[in-house]
Amino acid sequence: MSVTTGSASDSTQSTAKTVGIGAVAGLGAALLGYLATYVATSSTIENSTASQVLEALGSDISTWKVVGWVFMNAHGVTTNFPGLFGTTSSTNLIEGVEAFSAVLYAVPAVALLAAGVVAAVACGASSAKSGAMAGGSTVLGYLPVALAGLALFAITIGDAVARPDPVTSVLLAGIVYPATLGIVGGVAASAIR
């Protein structure tokens, strides 16, 4: 009686390859999405009156951090600002600043759909299930960027901090967006193959 372990080993290697490729595609989507947002919004942010006033008051406001807020806002994540007497307020800068185009909402969607397609094609996905697995694994590269954004995009204002909302950063930007759009991209790519 012989036992064959080759197919189980091959399956494990294939799964690890798929997950690795999906994670790299997710990371790439996050970085390219941020870069596209930076190119589209940085000059508007740098030239805004609010930015100049905050800089004059000595606030640690950097354009790249505010671009991070806008990038997270494109996922539906609000930015929390400190208010008077310990209160906070939240806003979506894409909705609240007329200079920003609603087209910015498409940036993460297009980047994640493309990441799902790239992951599925690179993995050789030939079924909807394998395409979904490849595309869904983009979460593994995108979620760490969303988590890092909580710390990197924080701006100290007095004793308080302005930053993307932690709960929606993790849930929407880190999990729901990449899982949903990555899977759709992966399944679409496998259907075309």
pLDDT at 5: 53
Q: In the prediction, which pLDDT does 165 show? A: 97
pLDDT of residue 46 exceeding 90:
no
115 lies in some domain: yes
* SS3 (DSSP) at 114: helix
What does the alpha-carbon distance between residue 167 and residue 51 come to, in Å, rounded to a whole number?
26
Give me the number of domains the chain comprises: 1
Q: What integer pLDDT is reported at residue 4 of this predicted model?
A: 52
Q: Would you say residue 8 lies in a domain?
A: no
What is the domain extent for residue 59?
27-191
- What is the average pLDDT value for the chain, to the nearest integer? 89
- From the CA atom positions of the chain, what is the Rg in Å? 20
On whether residue 3 sits in a domain, the answer given is: no
Q: What average pLDDT does the segment 91-120 reach?
A: 94
Q: At what angle do helices 128-136 and 6-46 cross, to 10 degrees?
A: 50
Quickly tell me which residue has 């490849």 as its tokens: 134
Give domain status of residue 5, yes or no.
no
Residue 64: pLDDT band by 50, 70, 90 thresholds? very high
Q: What is the pLDDT of residues 115-132, one digit of tens each?
A: 999 999 999 999 999 999
Banded pLDDT at 29 (limits 50, 70, 90): very high
